[in-house]
Structure 1
Amino acid sequence: MTLDLSSAISTFLSESKELLQEMEDGLIELESELDEYHRGEVINAVFRAIHTIKGSAGIFGFDHVVSLTHIVETTLDALRLNQILLDKDLISAYLSSRDLVETLVELAVEEIEPDDSTKIQVNELIASLSNYINNENEEDRILKDQPADIGTVESNSKWHLFFVPNENVLRNGLDPFAFLYFLSNEVENLHIDTFVTSLEQTHTFDPESNYFSFHAVFDSDKSSEEIAEIFEFIQTEANISIIPPNSSYQDIFNALGQFPDSASAVSMLENSQSLPTNYIDSIKSGRSELETSDDSSPSDTNSQPKSNQQKIHQSKTLRVEALKLDRLIDQVGEMVITGARTNLLAHETGNETLIEAMSLLERLVENIRDSSLKLRMVQIGETFNKFKRVVRDIAQELGKEVELSIEGAETELDKTFVEKVSDPLMHIVRNAIDHGIESPDVRKQNGKDATGTLTLRAYHDSGSIVIEIKDDGQGLNKERILDRAIERGIITPEQTLADKEINLLIFEPGFSTAEAVTNISGRGVGMDVVKRNIESLRGSVEVESKQGLGSSISIRLPLTLSIIDGFMFSVHDANYVIPLDTVVECLELHEVVPEEDIQDKNYINLRTEVLPFIRLRSLFGISEKIDHSRESLVIVQFGTLRAGLVVDSLKGEFQTVVKPLGRLFEGLKCISGATILGSGNVAIILDVSALIKSAISVYESLEIKQ
């Protein structure tokens, strides 16, 4: 019988990528100025990531991965013990090892032997990292160089573990004694003190509740991380503190605060003889402080950083395949359509009870829709953090100093957008560093700080999410852009373009203002792909720039691709839908346009603002005339642009399930999809951004002619 490990290996691959990303984020953070405590925490996090990958790779027999991760883990351990110094060269070596580990993991999963080039890179990296440590005397150095702790009691050479399971741990299917039994097989000279102070209130005893807390003392040559792994599956159901040998009494004193009755725990420890006498005396002297703090919550007791104490806490998460989520969203969409159909039939019957029941069901379906869509929402900060490495590497390659600033990392975006927007952001960031931000010498000559700033910002605006990439570099050279555009035949010398139109020329296919081709840019590819990819997501791109001060590129995307709140209207007996968030207001056309001008004008003076509008009948080629007194004007806004749409009649709000159009409609302007109505008919979803641009274009062309 052969064991199928494909599922386990697939899980190993995805978890390894997450751990490697955590490692990269930590290494980039170490390049900034951190206090001693946070620096140690970041190093420990990087160590845990590579240690976990090494252990998992060993289980599957991925020897190449184990070999490289072992030397990385060894140097990180020496770094934690302050035996080696952390500098930029070592961080670069760790980042290179992170990339190589990812390559080796992917090859191992695919059962492909690394080629000679990869093996050479691995061997060179192992040799480079080995130079940082003295392997022959490594054990002696750890013992000799271990820094003494103030307040350390010489006779305390034991590990201490405080294990306080919560009351519902048994109900959740976890047995604390099983973890203690496993601990007994992993360590030596184990002694356990058990606390059951809560049983004094016998009238409230519940056989399914847990009343036990534990203090364990033992000998071990394992690390804190290895001991913590023993309690990995119960860490969300308990408070756990692991205190290594040679720690101060204060660490143990602080850990006692986790017990439900801290003062009683101190008394029981006095009688258990599990602590040296001088430790007990020290704890006794501080008991009054501990007793007065019993009323505070455990989080208050442990709020101060403790360098030698490991607090285990993670939020509960569930890994779900993206395909399952997509199927759920599709089914919810079908439920929305069916609900609309049923609601329509209920109104046709005229039965008030049925109509009321359907109204309640419709609200429930709407709540299910919103909850389902939130399942696929992720914070964009995860994507932004990946660019820390990109900015660092490109800046070093170009000899520039660039600081990345991230704002709005908590802004949530549909997972589909996150995956598809990553590549466009990569092109824009690379171009901003290469073309936008000047070298340190040039910046100093221009009176700027030698270090340039690149800002990634995300925020919600009018039912859309906006991603801004802003730099404080030299800005766009509009004269050079115009010259290159004329040279390539994109525009003619006679054309007069506004600043925004000139800026958008950088997205034309094959367009580049670079004087020479480099590894970063200069071939005229990339930015046109950016615009095409963003528009395929029903988004838009805007560019603002001031020469000498910097540039800002804004990407505007809808919040979701699947289900939206729509606003429906009709034109010539056909129904059309636009996103409700883009609608500003609705007006009767004859009330804002004089009757004598209603046929000829394509703009109105709305509260001192010139507002262009477009007749959808004309846009769709409908020649049949209509009574203009029946027409309505829907004012829509997308980003900073605003225009009006002249329609025949308004239908109101409508839950819209977006259905993609077939290949026959690809490239068709002003249309972004379709939806099925409750009646079974199809309504076209219009692209508001394209409609506004079309209205403005028509207005500007008429103005030029006049």
Structure 2
Amino acid sequence: MSVDLSAAITTFVNESKELLAEMENSLLDLESSEAGRDQEETINAIFRAIHTIKGSAGLFGFDYVVSLTHIAETVLDDVRGGNREMSKPLLSLYLETGDLCDELILLAASENEPSAQQLTQLAKLTEQFSAFTDSAEAPQNTEADSEAQPQDGTWFMCFVPNENVLRNGLDPYPFIHFLNNEVESLEIATNCTALNADTPYDPESCYLAFLMLFHTSQNKDVIEEVFEFIKNDAVVEILPPDQCHYDAITDCAKHFPEPAQFHATLAQLTQSRLPAQPLKPTSMPDEAEPPAQTKGKKKNKLHTSKTLRVEAMKLDRLIDQVGEMVITGARTNLLAHETGNETLIEAMALLERLVENIRDSSLKLRMVQIGETFNKFKRVVRDVADELGKEVELNIVGADTELDKTFVEKVSDPLMHIIRNAIDHGIEPPEQRLAAGKPACGQLTLRAYHDSGSIVIEIQDDGRGLDQSKILARAIENGLVNPDHSLQDKEINLLIFEPGFSTAAAVTSISGRGVGMDVVKRNVESLRGSVEVDSTKGLGSKIIIRLPLTLSIIDGFMFTVGAEDYVIPLDTVVECLELHEVVSESDIQDKNYINLRTEVLPFIRLRTLFGIEQQIEHTKESLVIVQFGTLRAGLVVDSLQGEFQTVVKPLGRLFEGLKCISGATILGSGKVAIILDVSALIRTAITMYESLELKH
């Protein structure tokens, strides 16, 4: 019968991606000397990743992947044994191997053949690795453990899959097929359980067992790793040459339901290959101890494994259902208050708290650490710096900062553009840095942290900084700025995000076409975020990206303007004041700012912004002071409604690009309330204030 391996292959593809990412990070750590004292363990981690991928690929018959990882593993084994150093050319070779492995695995999983270019690259890498193996010295093993040392001779193996192995999606044959590639002269005797009327045939059950003899110079650990993925669904007993005597072999009969079945199967093997004289291992009295220790370790490993892989689609569906539950809960709570039944109101208050806890727990399921995204840029920094002939060191701060997985996927490309531009335009070549009194190696820092309900990502370099005069001149030349208009430094800095803007003298493969930084701003703003630039000429630049923590469910603050309700994120609210208490009506006429505790605070009347003509008394208006990053402004509203659990709903394509509006939500009454973009509102208020100042 054929076994459907699609689920197992999908798991392998996902796990191999993780292993290749870990391998790349380990290689880059070795190159930058970040491995330090753990260099030996780092190399071992790289070896384990390659070996695991090779073993799994062999099970599925991914021959191209097996051939590449096999020779890469052989050379790395020399490095582990101290017979070869991990030089930069060799390290680069392993980075290229990881890239090609990723491509070959995806092709094999989708049942496609490699392209001619990929086959050429495979042959080139194999040839380069072969050059290392041809010049390698014979490894010297100093291990004292006889099982860890290679043992050249005849090995015996008993392989008994359990009855449910096929139901679990594992086919025993690929494991034997892969073992055949690792050893020599493999002989197999197959036992099939006898069927009778009491045990009717089940096509999903496994009735086979295997006894094998083979020749190899590998150690026992290597042979065991071939069966790593099936060891929990089978009995796997391996006897190396020093234990391969008749008594030890016949002891394997205990794994068969009937000893007679075992002896009949054993008789099928070539008896002459068994040693004539029984050989006792030196550790014979303690022979039973290692299996007990192994079992103990295995049990502990299973006990400490607390990670469960869940499809992102299932999490998204859960968040959507929790959002609908929040909306329904608000509606039910409103109806409970209308009845006036105190017992019902109290029960609904308890239910509302439980719903809030479920909401918070559900959102945390989709939070991931940003460090995984940051680590991907180590390779980008290395490759771009090498291409430009520069020395750049990447520093990562706040890798454990968590944010919504949706942001992780969408913020990767903007960060890529910023990093490439920082290396190309910001960080100087080594000779220029030395002439300016700086170290030859430039510093690029990625930093993440939480601040006022937002996640902040900073990309900072110690390069030449932005030349505001050059930027302004190019902006005027391109017609982006009126020559008569005066701009502050921070406004000039933001011109680098204008479409088509570039100060590069020549177009290169890295930058110069003015495409990329405008995409950064557009992508960040589509996530309801903002971008700021802080730069000092000669000292470096810092680009600050600010994003909300989540896009789905937020704690909101609701107020009324005219006959409609509006919501803003609660985290952006600093304080609320009665407008007439902080300023007189005569002082506020024809102004869009107030003096609040010696601070000039721009404000915006939402009635004016939304074109609501009906006026109310000034004494009824409220001032909501909001803050986003370092910017602060006031919103003048008609009345305050208080905190409100907000399920963010997109407005659809028809309303895309609406200024100062980021979404909508459904209230308990069934009405729709608009969610406002606080960042855009603050920028609008500041722009209006600055334009008014210029007129005066």
Question: Structure 2 length as normaliser, TM-score?
Answer: 0.79
**Residue 368 of structure 1: aligned partner:** 358
**Residue 390 of structure 2: aligned partner:** 400
Query: What CA distance in whole angstroms lies between the structure 1 residues aligned with 2:404 and 2:220?
Result: 40
1:315-334 aligned within 5 A? 315-334=305-324
Q: Deviations over 1:657-697 (max 9, x none)?
A: 00000111111100000000001000000000000000011
Does the C-alpha gap of structure 1 residues 116 and 488 become closer, same or farther in structure 2, counting only changes over 3 Å?
same
**Residue 572 of structure 1: aligned partner:** 562
**Do the aligned partners of 2:606 and 2:637 also contact (CA within 8 Å) in 1?**
yes
Q: Deviation of residue 272 (structure 1)?
A: 7.7
Amino acid paired to 2:676: L
Query: What CA distance in whole angstroms lies between the structure 2 residues aligned with 1:91 and 1:606?
Result: 60
**Residue 170 of structure 2: aligned partner:** none
**Residue 62 of structure 1: aligned partner:** 62
Q: Deviation of residue 470 (structure 1)?
A: 0.2
**Do the aligned partners of 2:557 and 2:567 also contact (CA within 8 Å) in 1?**
yes
**Residue 434 of structure 1: aligned partner:** 424
**Do the aligned partners of 1:471 and 1:550 also contact (CA within 8 Å) in 2?**
yes
**Residue 280 of structure 1: aligned partner:** none
Task: Decide which of 477, 494, 507 is 2:484's aligned counterpart.
Answer: 494
Aligned: 1:157 with 2:146: yes
Does the C-alpha gap of structure 1 residues 220 and 371 become closer, same or farther in structure 2, counting only changes over 3 Å?
farther
Amino acid paired to 2:102: E
**Residue 652 of structure 2: aligned partner:** 662
Q: Deviation of residue 130 (structure 1)?
A: 1.2
SS at match of 2:219: coil
Q: Deviation of residue 56 (structure 1)?
A: 1.6
Q: Deviations over 1:510-530 (max 9, x none)?
A: 111100011111111000000
**Residue 418 of structure 1: aligned partner:** 408
Q: Deviation of residue 104 (structure 1)?
A: 1.1
Does the C-alpha gap of structure 1 residues 25 and 339 become closer, same or farther in structure 2, counting only changes over 3 Å?
same
Does the C-alpha gap of structure 1 residues 360 and 602 become closer, same or farther in structure 2, counting only changes over 3 Å?
same
**Do the aligned partners of 1:590 and 1:598 also contact (CA within 8 Å) in 2?**
no
SS at match of 2:132: coil
Q: Deviation of residue 487 (structure 1)?
A: 1.1
**Residue 29 of structure 2: aligned partner:** 29
Amino acid paired to 1:114: P
Q: Deviations over 1:240-268 (max 9, x none)?
A: xxxx99xxxxxxxxxxxxxxxxxxxxxxx
SS at match of 1:642: strand
Does the C-alpha gap of structure 1 residues 686 and 223 become closer, same or farther in structure 2, counting only changes over 3 Å?
farther
Does the C-alpha gap of structure 1 residues 534 and 34 become closer, same or farther in structure 2, counting only changes over 3 Å?
closer
Query: What CA distance in whole angstroms lies between the structure 1 residues aligned with 2:345 and 2:491?
Result: 52
Does the C-alpha gap of structure 1 residues 497 and 586 become closer, same or farther in structure 2, counting only changes over 3 Å?
same
Q: In percent, how many aligned pairs have the same letter?
A: 71
Aligned: 1:650 with 2:640: yes
Q: Deviation of residue 232 (structure 1)?
A: 7.2
**Residue 14 of structure 2: aligned partner:** 14
Amino acid paired to 1:85: E
**Residue 133 of structure 1: aligned partner:** 133
**Residue 207 of structure 1: aligned partner:** none
Does the C-alpha gap of structure 1 residues 271 and 80 become closer, same or farther in structure 2, counting only changes over 3 Å?
closer
**Residue 43 of structure 1: aligned partner:** 43
Question: Structure 1 length as normaliser, TM-score?
Answer: 0.78
Query: What CA distance in whole angstroms lies between the structure 1 residues aligned with 2:371 and 2:363?
Result: 19
**Do the aligned partners of 1:484 and 1:513 also contact (CA within 8 Å) in 2?**
yes
Q: Deviations over 1:515-552 (max 9, x none)?
A: 00111111110000000000000000000000000000
Query: What CA distance in whole angstroms lies between the structure 2 residues aligned with 1:114 and 1:81?
Result: 33
**Do the aligned partners of 1:612 and 1:644 also contact (CA within 8 Å) in 2?**
yes
Q: Deviation of residue 323 (structure 1)?
A: 0.4
Aligned: 1:100 with 2:90: no
**Do the aligned partners of 2:55 and 2:225 also contact (CA within 8 Å) in 1?**
no
Q: Deviation of residue 39 (structure 1)?
A: 1.1
Q: Deviation of residue 35 (structure 1)?
A: 6.8
Amino acid paired to 2:326: V
Question: Gaps spanning 5+ residues in structure 2: where?
Answer: 150-174, 180-215, 233-239, 242-281, 288-295
1:570-649 aligned within 5 A? 570-649=560-639
Deviates further, 607-616 or 36-45: 36-45
Q: Deviation of residue 220 (structure 1)?
A: 9.1
Q: Deviations over 1:52-109 (max 9, x none)?
A: 1111211221111111111111111121111211110000000011111111112212
**Do the aligned partners of 1:475 and 1:546 also contact (CA within 8 Å) in 2?**
yes
Amino acid paired to 1:157: S
Does the C-alpha gap of structure 1 residues 649 and 555 become closer, same or farther in structure 2, counting only changes over 3 Å?
same
Does the C-alpha gap of structure 1 residues 330 and 229 become closer, same or farther in structure 2, counting only changes over 3 Å?
farther
Q: Deviations over 1:117-155 (max 9, x none)?
A: 2111111111111111238xx7x812xx23x47xx6xxx
Q: Deviation of residue 595 (structure 1)?
A: 2.5
Query: Over the residues paired in the alignment, what is the CA RMSD in angstroms?
Result: 3.0
Query: What CA distance in whole angstroms lies between the structure 1 residues aligned with 2:36 and 2:586?
Result: 77
**Do the aligned partners of 2:148 and 2:221 also contact (CA within 8 Å) in 1?**
no
Q: Deviations over 1:466-505 (max 9, x none)?
A: 0000000000111111111111111121111111110000
Deviates further, 618-627 or 32-41: 32-41
Amino acid paired to 2:286: S
Q: Deviation of residue 598 (structure 1)?
A: 3.2
Question: Gaps spanning 5+ residues in structure 1: where?
Answer: 161-181, 187-218, 236-243, 246-269, 276-297, 300-309
SS at match of 2:591: coil
Does the C-alpha gap of structure 1 residues 127 and 228 become closer, same or farther in structure 2, counting only changes over 3 Å?
closer
Task: Decide which of 324, 337, 343 is 2:333's aligned counterpart.
Answer: 343
**Residue 286 of structure 2: aligned partner:** 274
Amino acid paired to 1:222: N
Does the C-alpha gap of structure 1 residues 499 and 271 become closer, same or farther in structure 2, counting only changes over 3 Å?
closer
Q: Deviation of residue 437 (structure 1)?
A: 0.2
Task: Decide which of 439, 449, 457 is 1:467's aligned counterpart.
Answer: 457
SS at match of 2:357: helix
Q: Deviations over 1:404-439 (max 9, x none)?
A: 000000000100000000000000000000000000
**Do the aligned partners of 2:396 and 2:446 also contact (CA within 8 Å) in 1?**
yes
Q: Deviation of residue 9 (structure 1)?
A: 2.2
Amino acid paired to 1:103: E
Q: Deviations over 1:574-596 (max 9, x none)?
A: 00000000000000000111122
Does the C-alpha gap of structure 1 residues 127 and 704 become closer, same or farther in structure 2, counting only changes over 3 Å?
same
**Across the two proteins, how many residue pairs are aligned to each other?**
582
Aligned: 1:356 with 2:356: no
Q: Deviation of residue 224 (structure 1)?
A: 4.1
Does the C-alpha gap of structure 1 residues 100 and 546 become closer, same or farther in structure 2, counting only changes over 3 Å?
same
Q: Deviation of residue 456 (structure 1)?
A: 0.1
Amino acid paired to 1:505: L
Does the C-alpha gap of structure 1 residues 26 and 35 become closer, same or farther in structure 2, counting only changes over 3 Å?
closer
Query: What CA distance in whole angstroms lies between the structure 1 residues aligned with 2:434 and 2:484?
Result: 39
